[in-house]
A and B are shown apart, each in its own frame.
Chain A
Amino acid sequence: MAIDTTVLNILQDLTGEDFSARGDENLFDAGLLDSMDTVQLLLALQDELSINVPVSEFDRSEWETPNKIIAKVASLS
């Protein structure tokens, strides 16, 4: 499965919302994602794409929109 679909699926699991058409929405400002969800996101990425993202790598400004997350994951895989 492509990275973007996987990420969007994970985000939908976490927030209950579909972001396929809302790639530039700020997830933290909108209160859709919190620290707890981020940890789940990182774990899900590990499980589903087997990419290891350490917590230190997680800088909110680089992970704040679905598009940014996809780009970040792509760069790490």
Chain B
Amino acid sequence: MKRRLWQLFGPLVCAGVLVLGVLLAPLPLGRLSDSAVASAALSMSPNVLAGARAKNQALSRDYVPFFGSSELSRLDPFHPAVLAAKYHRSYRPFLVGAAGTQSLTHFLTDQSMLKQLRHKKAVFIVSMQWFTRRGQDPRAFDFFYSPLETVTWLLAAKNTVADRYAARRLLTMRAPSKDAQLHGALLTVAAGQPLGDTARQLLRTRLQMLKNEDELFSRFGVNAHEREVAAGEKLLPNQATNSQLDALAEQAGVTHTRSNQLGIDDTFYRTRLANGRMAKLAGSQKHFDYRFGPEYSDFQLLLSQFAKHDIDVQFIIPPINAKWAAYTGLSQAKYAQAVEKLKTQLKGQGFKRVLDLSQDGGQPYFMQDTIHIGWRGWVKVDKVVAPFLDGKRQPVHYMLNDHFFTKSWRQAVVGG
């Protein structure tokens, strides 16, 4: 009978031991090939963003994180990744973000990178479209949600205004609340209590499992964008000044916006706006208002991290296509107030590097479509970003203010 039992259940026991071993043993961190890192840097795939391995290995080489959202995927010839590759810059952008990533997602995505980013530089493209009344879209949050980064943050969390606020915000999202272990830990941090020894130990075990999962599986499902970059490189001359690039960008814009009067890329227009859809959108953004909401405090979470780790960050505030804004009835006055409020939050705390492009939405071929920077817009970004990243690191002096975590700031109106 013992023999028969072993025949039946032996394989199960062996499989169980193997699975546990693979999940819990500290696997050797294999080095990713340069091409794998290059691919990950361009992929903007959820598993790359939510993982740690590719990000860490990239930062230990010459990559600089470019945080943002959907505009990062506009890989035209003037995109930072193309320019950096073509002109052999001293840096390579690691694209962190995709459509749907907002401050709260970036806050988590950062966690595993913070150690390596200490005393270094980063670029952050912040979209005013994030700053809605509701803030972070919960479905998008779930889509990019990373248990690995959440556990990393929980193990480092302290009883500070920022960490308590972060825990409360994460508890309003579905994915972390559905996870019993993390839900409990988040409640503890939100209440300002220290995590117990057992809870910490369990979180560390979980972290090991998640790291191993990331080690084993992060190489799969990486979207390939190398071809787009290579195609872009082919269209660029071997040497060009910024103003020469600007002229080329204008030409590119002209050839790609023949189908409409709004200066919108033909493909975008054909697939998203043509066939009668435009009529419905007239005046559709009359009630859009980016001046209030949780995003301002979520964004403050990022700022406090950047400050604590002494990271020099170049912020970029992209404009909205002016013709599009006029057509959809978006209030320029409210939009300007929102930008003003964000700049107050940044500059008031010592974040001096802010490239405010919000007034450039009327410049021809600056935007690739409705709200996404493209062609000439990217060239203008490069004019500031390239010298910043190529140059020597300058000291920064940040003065964090917890007022930005309060409701009164979220509701505040800034500017005339």
Is A in direct contact with B (CB under 8 Å) within the complex? no
